[in-house]
Every structure is written in C-alpha cells, then in structure tokens.
C-alpha cells in the first residue's frame, strides 16, 4: 500500500479519483479530503494489485460451450437488469502485422 497526495481544482481531481476507483487492480482503502473554495486536497491510501489488472470474461453459448476472453483494465456497466456491457483491452500475440504502421 502507499499514500497518494492530490491537490487541484475539484472539477478535475474528483473525476480522476472516481476513474481510479473503477480500476479492478486499485483499491482506495482510506481517503481524507480538505476543501478550500474550488480547490481540494486529498490523501488517499491505495492498495495496488497489478495481478488483478487482467480478468477473464466467460461467454456461455446456447450449446453450452464456454468462450474465455482475457481482458486488461476491464470496466463493467449494467446496461439494464440482466444486460451488462464489458470493455477492456485485448492483444492477440498471434495476429498479423499487416495493419500495423512501421
């Protein structure tokens, strides 16, 4: 764990902290905030576990097969009851390089 100190305009700092808390590999254990007008000062105790950065999404087909999809930095949103949206990063090490610039 470590402590992170942030100071800045609340309209910029608070969204940053909200985005940080959405990461599965980051847990904000404790937070202290001081307000000074439009400025805020935060001290966050953070538990960073990089191994949690990769998650496996499992899709179940109608035939009963399970398709595992490993993704990095997964974010999950419940669109409506029973329907979820997942987004994250995936990299195919066996993919072709024809679409790469270089």
pLDDT at 98: 60
Tens digit of pLDDT for each residue in 36-57? 999 999 999 999 887 777 788 8
DSSP secondary structure letters along 37-80 = TTEEEEEEEEEE-GGGGEEEEEEEPTTS-EEEEEEEEEEEEEEE
Q: Which residue has the tokens 């937070």?
A: 31
Which sequence spans correspond to the domains of the chain?
A: 2-48, 52-89
Cα R_g (the chain), whole angstroms: 19
Q: Which long-range contacts (CB under 8 A, 24 or more apart) does 60-65 make?
A: none
Predicted TM-score (pTM) of this structure: 0.54
């Amino acid at each position: 764990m470590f402590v992170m100190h942030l100071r800045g305009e609340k309209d910029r700092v608070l969204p940053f902290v909200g985005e940080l808390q959405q990461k599965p590999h980051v847990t904000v254990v404790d937070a202290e905030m001081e307000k000074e007008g439009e400025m805020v000062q935060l001290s966050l105790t953070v538990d960073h576990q990089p191994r949690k950065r990769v998650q496996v999404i499992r899709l179940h087909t109608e035939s009963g097969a399970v398709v595992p999809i490993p993704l990095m930095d997964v974010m999950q949103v419940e669109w409506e009851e029973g329907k979820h949206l997942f987004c994250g990063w995936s990299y195919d090490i066996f993919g072709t390089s024809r679409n790469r610039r270089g």
